[in-house]
Amino acid sequence: MILAHPEKCVACHLCEGACSFFHDGAFQPAKSRIFVHDFVDEQTYVPVTCFHCADAPCLSNCPTYAITRDADTGQVAINDDKCIGCKMCMVACPFSVIGFNEDKNVSHNCDFCGGDPQCVKICTYDALEFTDFESNDWMIRLDEAERPKAEA
Amino acid sequence: MPNGWTGKILRVNLTEGRATTEDLNMAWARQYVGGRGLGTRYLYEEMDPSADALSPENKVIFATGPLTGTYAPTGGRYMVICKSPLTDAVACSNSGGYWGPELKFAGYDMVILEGRSTNPVYLWINNDIVEFRDADHLWGKNTEESEDAIRRETDPQARISGIGVAGEKLNRFACVINDKTRAAGRSGVGAAMGSKNIKAIAVRGTGAVEVADQLRFGELVFASMQMINESPTTAKALRGMGTASTVAFANSIGMLPTNNFQKGQFELADNVSGQTIANTVLNRNKGCYSCPIGCARVTETSGETKWHGHGEGPEYETIYGLGTDCGVGELDAVLYGNYACNLYGIDTISAGGTVAVAMELAERGYIPAEDLAEIGTDLKFGNADAVIRCLEMMTTREGKFGDLLAEGGYRLAEHYGHAELFMGSKKQDFAAYDPRAAKGMGLGYATSNRGGCHMRGYSMKVEWFAPMEERLDPFAEEGKAAAIIKLQHDAAGIDSVGMCDFSAYAVPPERQVELYETCTGEETSREEWDKIGERIWNLERLFNNRAGLTRQDDSLPPRMTDEPLSGGAVQNQVVALEGMLAEYYRLRGWDNDGNPSAETLERLDIQPG
């Protein structure tokens, strides 16, 4: 999984650039599969990407069974050939981490760039980590984002 | 679609309420690149430089570079270019944050604001849909409130660049603020915008920025990022302590302007140093778009004084402007003043310089009591209350004194009969380096096309910050002209391509050229890149000459040339400017009045027009 360490993030958005550049050959954050939420007033920056949920709402809502979850790795993947571009997955996703490719008319999520995630590679600040962390621990990750403020 | 550039600019006629898309002049793009260079080329072509800067004839150009929006390290910058209401010379103010890339994603390299709107408006650029929106309800709001309100009316992901009340009131050094905390700070670009009755430009872009050679560009980016991570300046000093890392060094040298440049060392410097900031009030770092340096200070006041607030800053220049130059050594007050300047939309450097000269005038008895009474607290060095109060007054032009403050330090000092006490050049306040401790900086300040500024010939790179074996003697005038000229050209290049100046500490011009080539597909060379920098510099000079500036304006105040400075490493130093200036003109191929010769213009392929 792509694990975010929000306390290290500086909101430079390099991850977004690297992601769209790798997948689509151009710089287009609108097509990125990772997003950095910049809460300016709260001085908190949170990178968010697909959590590959154990009980993925995108998967259960897909009318063509284009979305599957790998039993071994836990990766939730969208099959371009089966996707009809209905966007139900985007509606269903509680974290809005599914994007849509207007040119191909299919939706997309984080696919780890095939095993060498570019966002992790480019993040100078070590705010992103590629691990095999279980997805239901995202609750712990979000709690950690709150922690620096509480302790301050 | 072209690579790097989007190939489109947006022309906004505020008088008629009409926005049109035009093709980018690619011939100019190849000669001037983008950002500073390209924006200046358009300005030079399209306005009469002798027109009043606050009139509808002025044009305010928001210009990105071809690398803006790519993941080139620090590739997130844009420039605001116009005629300056402060200096009456060309203004070219640089900002980071996230607004510039968003404009590229919306499909534009540049926005040109022309004319004047009858009623307050803001511009809403939503990819290819452009709207003029009513801004009556925003007029009078600070930059934060304004951004929040505009996002509610447009798109939660919209990026916004605009003015605060200072810009509305035409404070001559009002700035443009984007993303709440980043500033196109200098030369009053915010006032030029305010004079057009436009509050902000909101932009949302979902398009793409393309590059020509994806593979090679990617390799160069990673290699450049590695250089940044291995350079102590970028990875340790800037990342660790921000620009504030310079405070302690400048103070020990004796170069830290104190009490309106009366001294070069400040006894309370430790209270406002980069280390103290990092230890006490720093919450975390922040980075502009695509930046692997991440130098921005995200801070909060200590809670132990009466000054309360949080936000971004202070930079070294702000510590000088609102701190040392006014004799203020209270960190919380400097922070508070910084946050206030962001909200009001004022340049922290010129705000500080203006208050500092006012303080010296007051202490010397040159300001009548009834004018001083308007402030409500003693206008003397070290009084933080006076600094903060003056920031309020200069924003709204409160009373006679607030009105004078808003005119800027030079005009204020002139009003009270002592213009010579203004520490600046071309009516723009100096930056945080006393040139008597670094003579090259004196030449840089005097010859800067935009007035007193450290970014137009940052001599520190060849003087105090250079390794010992390469260092030019900071106290010598010889040989400075050639070095400053080269620095001025390097800066013009970086300012035009879309990267941040700080990347240049680790990423040399050779690499910038390669990034530019692989991004745009345009072939150039190191020599050509230098020539582009020289071309930009000369074009700015032509603009200024036609605006009426002369050799007399390439000057320093008498304190710099006649009053010796001592302290730290400095012993009895003044700046001998005339010799440096003569050599500078000669090397540049200009005549004795500072006019580029016909040969020089031809060599640079500039038509005087």
pLDDT in tens, B146-179: 999 999 999 999 999 999 999 999 999 999 999 9
Sorted by sequence, the CB contacts under 8 Å of residue B242 that are 6+ apart come out as: B274, B277, B278, B285, B295, B296, B297, B315, B316
Distance CA B142, CA B144 (A): 6
Task: Give the pLDDT confidence of B347-378 residue by residue, as tens digits.
Answer: 999 999 999 999 999 999 999 999 999 999 99
CA–CA gap between residue B286 and residue B284 (Å, rounded): 7
Which residues are within 8 A (CB) of A150 and not within 5 positions of it... i.e. 6 or more apart?
none
Q: Is the pLDDT of residue A152 over 50?
A: no
Handedness of CA B424, B446, B30, B27 (dihedral sign): positive
Q: Which phi and psi (to 5°) does residue B323 adopt?
A: -115, -95
Nearest by CB to residue B291, choosing from A12, A30, A152, is A12
Strand partners, B578: none
Scanning every residue of chain B, which has its alpha carbon at the shortest distance from the alpha carbon of A100? B206
Q: Model confidence over A95-111: pLDDT tens digits?
A: 999 999 988 999 999 99
Is the pLDDT confidence value at A151 over 70?
A: no
Number of separate domains in chain A: 2
pLDDT-wise least confident of A90-94, B315-319, B504-508, B604-608: B604-608
Q: Helix, strand, coil proportions of chain B in percent (round to 5)? A: 45, 15, 40
Contacts of B332 (CB under 8 A, 6+ apart): B281, B301, B302, B304, B305, B307
Q: Confidence class of residue A140 from pLDDT cuts 50, 70 and 90? A: low
Q: Calculate how close chain A gets to B325, using CA atoms only, in Å.
A: 29
Helix B509-520 / helix B480-497 crossing angle, nearest 10 deg: 30
Per-residue pLDDT reduced to its tens digit, B177-219: 999 999 999 999 999 999 999 999 999 999 999 999 999 999 9
Mean pLDDT of chain A: 89
- Helix, strand, coil shares, percent, chain A, to 5: 35, 20, 45
User: Is there a single domain that holds both residue A61 and residue A136?
Assistant: no
- pLDDT at residue B54 in the model: 98
Cα gap B117→B127, rounded to integer Å: 22
Expressed as residue numbers, the domain containing A26 is 1-50+111-152
Rounded to whole angstroms, the Cα distance separating B18 from B10 reads 10
Q: State the average pLDDT over residues B387-415.
A: 98
Q: What is the tens place of the pLDDT at every residue in B586-609?
A: 999 999 999 999 999 999 999 876
Contact present, B431 and B424 (Cβ < 8 Å): no
Note whether B139 and B162 are within 8 A (CB): no
Q: What is the CATH number of domain B8-204?
A: 3.60.9.10
Closest CA to B367 of B391, B394, B401: B401
Same domain, A67 and A29: no
Residues 6+ away with beta carbon under 8 Å from B175: B93, B163, B166, B167, B183, B184, B185, B186, B188, B189, B190, B341, B345, B346, B347
Question: Above 80 in pLDDT, residue A138?
Answer: no
Count the alpha carbons within 13 Å of B404 in the hemisphere toward its beta carbon.
19
pLDDT score of B609: 61
Asked if B290 lies within 8 A of A13 by C-beta distance, the reply is yes
Picking from B98, B210, B229, the nearest residue to A124 by CB comes out as B229
Side-chain-side CA neighbours of residue B541 (13 Å): 29
Closest chain A residue by Cα to residue B215:
A25
- Report pLDDT for B608: 73
User: Residue ranges per domain, chain B?
Assistant: 8-204, 232-428, 438-505+523-603
CATH number of the domain that residue A86 is part of: 3.30.70.20
Average pLDDT over residues A47-51: 94
Query: Which amino acid, A54?
Result: A
Q: Phi first, then psi: give them for residue A19, nearest 5 degrees.
A: -65, -55
CA distance A72 to chain B (A): 32
Chain A residues within an 8 Å CB radius of B284: 7, 10, 43, 148
Inter-chain CB proximity B300 and A24 less than 8 Å: no
- CA B245-B64-A125 angle, to 5 degrees, is 40
- Which of A10, A22, A46 should be substituted to probe chain B, the one whose Cβ sees the most B Cβ atoms within 10 Å? A10
Answer yes or no: do A10 and B296 touch at CB < 8 A.
Answer: yes
Closest chain B residue to the Cα of A10, Cα to Cα: B286
**B252-266: pLDDT as tens digits:** 999 999 999 999 999
B8-204 against B438-505+523-603: fold identical:
no
Residue B273 has pLDDT above 50, yes or no: yes
Same domain membership, residue A72 and residue A115: no
**Architecture of the domain made up of B232-428:** Orthogonal Bundle (1.10)
- pLDDT one-digit tens code per residue, B452-485: 999 999 999 999 999 999 999 999 999 999 999 9
Q: For chain A, what percent of residues have pLDDT higher than 90? A: 77
- Residues A43 and A118 placed together within one structural domain of the fold: yes
pLDDT single digits (tens) A1-20: 899 999 999 999 999 999 99
Length of chain A: 152
CA-based end-to-end distance of chain B: 31
Cis peptide bond prior to B156, omega within 30° of 0: no
Coil vs helix vs strand at B449: coil
Q: What is the pLDDT of residue B94?
A: 97
Pick the CATH number of B438-505+523-603 from 2.40.50.140, 1.10.599.10, 3.40.50.740, 3.40.50.800: 1.10.599.10
Distance from C-alpha of B301 to C-alpha of B527, rounded to nearest angstrom: 48
Is residue B354 within 8 Å of residue B394, measured between CB atoms? Answer: yes
Identify the three-state secondary structure at position B204.
strand
Query: Do residue B179 and residue A122 have CB atoms under 8 angstroms apart?
Result: no
The residue among B206, B230, B284, B312 with the most chain A CBs within 10 A of its CB, best to mutate, is B284
Rounded-to-integer distance, Cα B372 and Cα B188, Å? 25
B83-139 pLDDT tens trace: 999 999 999 999 999 999 999 999 999 999 999 999 999 999 999 999 999 999 999
- Left, alpha or beta for B135 (phi > 0: left; psi -120 to 50: alpha)? alpha
User: Which tokens sit at A49?
Assistant: 């990407």
- CA separation for the pair B243, B274 (Å, rounded): 8
Q: Is the pLDDT of residue A143 over 60?
A: no
Q: Which residues of A touch B205 (CB under 8 A)?
A: 30
Q: Where are the beta strands (DSSP E) in chain A?
A: 2-4, 26-27, 34-39, 44-49, 67-69, 76-78, 99-101, 106-108, 128-130
